[in-house]
Structure 1
Amino acid sequence: MGVTQVPEISVGSCDRTMPVIGMGTSTNPPPDPETAKAAMLEAMRAGYRHFDTAFAYGSEKPLGEAMAEALRLGLVKSRDEFFITTKLWSSFAEKDMIVPAMKMSLSNLQLEYVDMYLIHWPVRLSKEVTNMPVKKREYILPLDIKSVWEAMEEGKNLGLTKGIGVSNFSCKKLEELLSTAKIPPAVNQVEMSPIWQQKQLREYCTQKGIHIGAYSPLGAYNTKWGHNRVVECDVLGEIAKARGKTPAQVSLRWLYEQGVSIVTKSFNKQRMRENLDIFGWSLTEEDSERIAQLPQKKGLLFADVIGPYDISLEIDAEI
């Protein structure tokens, strides 16, 4: 099978274009490093060039090794062919810790720069937090958006990353960030799928020139926080049957047609390739109208992950 060419798009304040589909590397429980590295190499063979990692996923090191191996094998000609996104973990979300956290991720990835560096969550966690849910309310702290973003801008100005952005930010949090930012966020990576369409947030981000990246586009099926409401959705199933596609491909194509980029994760060789097969065909107007009318339900709740504290419930309530 050949390598799929994935279209690239410009994203706001980022210094380079981004492939519209990225390979996600968050797995719970995490696989052993060799399994992770082998899956990432397989994804590179299939045509993935955008990889989405994070300090918290524990996948930076295997990804760094997979990239080095891909260069050795000649699967890619240079580092420039990759677009790497990684994220600032909440335990390092303090002004003086951010540039060192970026450098730690670069060391894990064996890179001189990443292409996109995101604030992972809109909270700060104290050093005592080693796993989820958080045991004590006092370990969860509000994020000082102004000072944290200043340090993110410093990292970009130092050349440690080509672009900076956020993840899981509501319109309210973005408004606060934009009120003091010198460099606006290029990306807001959020949960988005046909059953969590994020219309209000998308409209806001479009107005502000912030690109939306969609994670859990298939409902994070087969993870402990995931669900089967996307892959087993009757409407998506009917559209898929009519198009000779899978419900997953219909979901990913719908997202692509909304103008967002997509982070999709599969370590299964066949599904990896299927997830790239969303170009060269399109949904009809009727398909899109049917999808627009699907009942909406958020999948990932901070109250479930961090614990049902006031600060996580507040984040979940914000749009």
Structure 2
Amino acid sequence: MIHSLTDKVLLNNQVEIPGLGLGVFQISDEMTEEVVKNGILTGYRLIDTAQIYGNEIGTGKGIAQGLKEAKLERKDIFVTSKVWNDHLSYSETIAAFNQSLERLGLEYLDLYLIHWPGFGAFDESWRALEELYKEGKVRAIGVSNFEIEHLEHLLIYAEVIPVVNQIELHPKLNQKALREYCAQKGIKVQAWSPLMQGQLLTNEVILGIARALNKSAAQVILRWAIQQEILLNVKSVKKERMLANSQVFDFHLSEAQMQLIDALNEDLRVGPNPNTFDFK
């Protein structure tokens, strides 16, 4: 379990990833530079973007500015991007990676993910990711929004085991079976939308726990995930919210409080279902 914003977790290929990162989903390219810079200055060391977000240029500029102002080096920041796997061929995936790298203005990525399984249309893309990894252009490779059946298919032929499966995960969708499967395979789970796009911030159970601990609902939810060793990406455009989201290491949820939050699970999604979502 991580104990600070800069704490790292060891992946199955021995690369270390910060346990709590800053995501830039649904932030315009024009705004992203300032958001990412402020995130780095606040203390975040993982920046998560994606091809489909349309803000890799702003992300790259924000990283460069943040590193400069914080007097950090490139190796001090962990950068993730994702290929929008629109039934891509091997060569199309390689081209998409190179375009992302150029937009970000970086010489390498720390983590590159296949964004969606797309009805099992990821075989060629994974082969391309393995090649990029073997060539040293990316330090680790993984997947996003993969269900157990997608992982089972991938692991039949994969030469490199994914280090991460980034999935929608929050108290209303606790993904227990998928988390257990990933743990058995040595794949870390990283949550996107851990606050259910803000829908959980008015939940009475969570608010009751927050009042008892003199914390915010968001801090309680993030702490619930951290105590289960779930990697996190949080999103905010405001510096004060970024800071608040990082202040989750000075308190502990009791077993009873954890169980109350666990009981909120309804297998309820705010994003698409990976088993029915495709984009061809």
Give the Cα–Cα distance (whole angstroms) in 1 for the partners of residues 243 and 277 of structure 2: 35
Tell me the residue number matched to 1:52: 48
The CA deviation at 1:90 is 2.3
> Percent of aligned pairs with the same residue?
35
| Bigger Rg over Cα | 1
Cα-Cα RMSD: 1.7
Of the structure 1 ranges 293-302 and 212-221, higher mean CA displacement relative to structure 2 is found in 293-302
Which among 134, 149, 157 is matched to residue 172 of structure 1?
A: 149
Q: 1:217 touches 1:252 (CA, 8 Å); kept in 2?
A: yes
Of the structure 1 ranges 256-265 and 4-13, higher mean CA displacement relative to structure 2 is found in 4-13
Tell me the residue number matched to 2:219: 249
Give the Cα–Cα distance (whole angstroms) in 1 for the partners of residues 6 and 116 of structure 2: 28
Q: Under a length normalisation based on structure 1, what TM-score does the superposition of the two structures give?
A: 0.82
State the 4+ residue runs in structure 1 displaced beyond 6 angstroms: none
The CA deviation at 1:162 is 0.5
Q: 1:21 touches 1:262 (CA, 8 Å); kept in 2?
A: yes
After superposition, the C-alpha distances for 1:58-99 in whole angstroms (9 at most, x for unaligned) are: 1211111111112332x0421000000100112372212111
Q: 1:92 touches 1:101 (CA, 8 Å); kept in 2?
A: no
Which among 243, 252, 255 is matched to residue 282 of structure 1?
A: 252
Distance change (3 Å), C-alpha of 1:238 and 1:86: same
Match of 2:263, as an amino acid?
Answer: Q
Match of 2:6, as an amino acid?
Answer: V
Tell me the residue number matched to 1:9: 9
Give the Cα–Cα distance (whole angstroms) in 2 for the partners of residues 281 and 109 of structure 1: 36
Distance change (3 Å), C-alpha of 1:202 and 1:5: closer
Give the Cα–Cα distance (whole angstroms) in 2 for the partners of residues 96 and 183 of structure 1: 19
Tell me the residue number matched to 2:104: 109
Q: 2:85 touches 2:125 (CA, 8 Å); kept in 1?
A: no
Give the Cα–Cα distance (whole angstroms) in 1 for the partners of residues 275 and 121 of structure 2: 18
Match of 2:224, as an amino acid?
Answer: W
1:31 aligns with 2:22: no
Tell me the residue number matched to 2:195: 218
Tell me the residue number matched to 1:135: none
Give the Cα–Cα distance (whole angstroms) in 1 for the partners of residues 277 and 35 of structure 2: 33
2:190 aligned counterpart, secondary structure: strand
The CA deviation at 1:211 is 0.3
Distance change (3 Å), C-alpha of 1:65 and 1:213: same
Give the Cα–Cα distance (whole angstroms) in 2 for the partners of residues 158 and 120 of structure 1: 21
After superposition, the C-alpha distances for 1:111-160 in whole angstroms (9 at most, x for unaligned) are: 1111100000111xxxxxxxxxxxxxxxxxx4433332111100111111
Which among 205, 210, 216 is matched to residue 240 of structure 1?
A: 210
Which among 72, 91, 96 is matched to residue 77 of structure 1?
A: 72
Tell me the residue number matched to 2:201: 231
Number of residue equivalences? 275
Describe how 1:112-127 pairs up with structure 2 within 5 A.
112-123=107-118
The CA deviation at 1:24 is 0.8
Match of 2:201, as an amino acid?
Answer: V
Q: Under a length normalisation based on structure 2, what TM-score does the superposition of the two structures give?
A: 0.93
The CA deviation at 1:297 is 3.6
1:275 aligned counterpart, secondary structure: helix
Tell me the residue number matched to 1:152: 129
Give the Cα–Cα distance (whole angstroms) in 2 for the partners of residues 54 and 32 of structure 1: 12
